[in-house]
Amino acid sequence: MGKMTFSIPKISCHHCVMTIKRELGELEGVLSVEGNPAGKEIVVEWKEPATVDKIKALLSEINYPAA
């Protein structure tokens, strides 16, 4: 199991965070996603088969790439 904070410069509001939560929540193995629009960060907790690379790839795919 892993937990990591990702810096997402494109986050501008709570809607952005909700979009990221919804999309990452559909990735198999993602357990939780919390976000902070003011800090432009999300915290993701996951287990296999999710990986950091899969999470970063999905973030890029939905136009919220991690810095």
pTM, to two decimals: 0.94
Confidence band for 10, pLDDT divided at 50, 70 and 90: very high
If you average pLDDT over residues 30-50, what whole number do you get? 97
Residue 39 is predicted with a pLDDT of 95
Domain locations in the chain? 2-61
For 26-61, the DSSP string reads: TSTTEEEEEEETTTTEEEEEE-TT--HHHHHHHHHH
Q: For the residues 9-25, what does the mean pLDDT come to?
A: 97
Tokens representing 48 are 């296999």
Q: What is the dihedral of CA 55, 59, 26, 13, to 10 degrees?
A: 130
- For residue 6, what are the β-bridge partners? 42
Q: pLDDT-derived band of residue 12, with 50, 70 and 90 as boundaries?
A: very high
Query: Which CATH entry fits the domain spanning 2-61: 3.40.50.300, 3.60.15.10, 3.40.718.10, 3.30.70.100?
Result: 3.30.70.100
Nearest Cα to 20, choosing from 7, 1, 6, 33?
33
The model's confidence at residue 43, banded by pLDDT at 50, 70 and 90, is: very high
